[in-house]
Amino acid sequence: MAGVALSCFAPWRFVRLARSVKLSSIPSLKFHTTASPMMGASVEQFNQAKERLGSLKNDPGNQVKLQIYALFKQATQGSCNTPKPGMLDFVNKAKWDAWNSLGSITQEDARQQYCDLIGSLVAKEGGSAQVAAQPAGSGPAYETLLVTTEDDITTIKMNRPTKKNAITTQMYNEIIAALEQAAKDDSVITVFTGAGDFYCSGNDLTNFTKIPEGGIEQMAKSGGDLLRTYVKAYIDFPKPLVAVVNGPAVGIPVTVLGLFDLVYATERATFHTPFSMLGQSPEGCSSFTFPRIMGPAKASEMLLFNKKLTAVQACEQGLVTEVFPDSSFQSEVWTRLKAYAKLPRNSLALSKQLIRSADKERLHVVNDTEVERLVERWQSDECMHAIMSFFQAKSKL
């Protein structure tokens, strides 16, 4: 935290700071009628995040409380606009430094970070990280996702920030359900993004450690069936589908990008498909879409030889539509998406179907073929040894 070294406070000063930055002391949420529209988190989500903050049982520590305070001030008032307290006013100086360290990030970005932070704290206490519940009767409730519809945009946000949004079996099923629901709702476009600093770190490899009674063969078959259904949901999705890649992406969240209509990325995003490192093979129709998008040689670098692309490289090779500065990423992208959502819904959907129709049957065949190969791979000794080596290396870190 810029400007504050909590460890250098004398004990009595540290206690004073802890008492002064209590969760209950965060000011009441007030919105002015002239406030700019929410880009990532809705007003309802922000209000719910504040309510959930008061329900925390454990003290998250002084540094986190200062971060909460700073994000709240930035979200509701904008950049720090108060005089700097004197050096001997330790408590208020710590608060001021925390707020001032946020610089010029927008109120919209601060609101989103506030919601993500509260969600991660709730998750650490064993609760759901979801900040906004689904309205009654609007569809299924989700534990690993935040699904909202606002301004004719349905947003599906992967919401396991403390796990870098790694995809569990539950999340796979919830994404399938969310896509089915979004296909039927009144929104114009659907957006995928991630909570926290990561877009998605790929498969939660603990999925491979839960061996069912039927053994490895049954696990591989069940995993293949789930993967086939998951990718099929993207292939058949009828509306414009946009990825807002807010951070690093690994594995299947990268491979399915070839099935999206637009991919916007922050400059700090990276794209990595380390299949051969884990003894596996491509999925998400990437064996077809990647060579078509970036050419066979560049696709082979990614899919065969595990090359990690920066956002700029991914854009140059056609996988990403446009790259934005991280400081303005959310505001620029969501301003643009809200403009797109004002276009005629049926015109967009029918035009997308025309563009995609020539390849749709081929994509389903590719999906089936990739899944069959992966089911074989998952049962191979080579794959098992690779995954075990990964876990052993990770345990030594």
Q: At a CB cut-off of 8 Å and minimum separation 6, what does 5 contact? A: none
DSSP 148-206: EEETTEEEEEE--GGGTTPBPHHHHHHHHHHHHHHHHSS-SEEEEEESTT-SB--B-GG
Inform me whether the pLDDT recorded for 10 exceeds 70: no
Binned at pLDDT 50, 70 and 90, residue 389 comes out as: confident
Inform me whether the pLDDT recorded for 32 exceeds 60: no
110 shares a domain with 78: yes
Beta strands at 270-272 and 249-250: parallel, antiparallel or unpaired: parallel
Closest CA to 284 of 151, 189, 172, 395: 172
pLDDT of residue 4: 32
Closest CA to 248 of 188, 318, 310, 322: 310
Number of independent structural domains in the chain:
2
Inform me whether the pLDDT recorded for 131 exceeds 80: no
Residue 139 counted as domain residue: no
322 shares a domain with 236: yes
322 shares a domain with 228: yes
Closest CA to 75 of 33, 114, 132, 21: 114
157 shares a domain with 74: no
Beta strands at 322-324 and 262-266: parallel, antiparallel or unpaired: parallel
85 shares a domain with 182: no
Q: Percentage of the chain surpassing pLDDT 90?
A: 56
- SS3 (DSSP) at 262: strand
Please give the residue that has the higher pLDDT: either 215 or 308. Answer: 308
165 shares a domain with 109: no
Give the residue carrying structure tokens 């951070």. 247
Residue 389 counted as domain residue: yes
358 shares a domain with 290: yes
Inform me whether the pLDDT recorded for 345 exceeds 80: yes
Inform me whether the pLDDT recorded for 236 exceeds 80: yes
152 shares a domain with 11: no
pLDDT of residue 116: 83
Inform me whether the pLDDT recorded for 97 exceeds 70: yes
Q: At a CB cut-off of 8 Å and minimum separation 6, what does 108 contact? A: 36, 37, 38, 39, 40, 41, 330, 331, 334
Interval 37-75: pLDDT, tens: 344 566 667 777 887 787 777 778 788 888 888 888 888
Q: CA 232, CA 285: separation in Å to the nearest integer?
A: 10
Q: CA 196, CA 119: separation in Å to the nearest integer?
A: 9
Interval 69-79: pLDDT, tens: 888 888 888 89
Contact 144, 180 (CB under 8 A): no
Print the domain residue range for 55: 6-124
| Residue 106 belongs to domain with CATH number | 1.20.80.10
285 shares a domain with 189: yes
Mean pLDDT of 293-302: 98
Mean pLDDT of 237-245: 98
Tokens in use for 251?
């594995």
373 shares a domain with 225: yes
Beta strands at 309-310 and 249-250: parallel, antiparallel or unpaired: unpaired
288 shares a domain with 226: yes
**Most confident region among 19-28, 68-77, 170-179 by mean pLDDT:** 170-179
pLDDT of residue 117: 85
Binned at pLDDT 50, 70 and 90, residue 208 comes out as: low
Mean pLDDT of 161-179: 95
Q: At a CB cut-off of 8 Å and minimum separation 6, what does 214 contact? A: none
pLDDT of residue 115: 86
Interval 316-339: pLDDT, tens: 999 999 999 999 999 999 999 999
Residue 135 counted as domain residue: no
Please give the residue that has the higher pLDDT: either 136 or 158. Answer: 158
Closest CA to 258 of 303, 222, 213, 226: 303
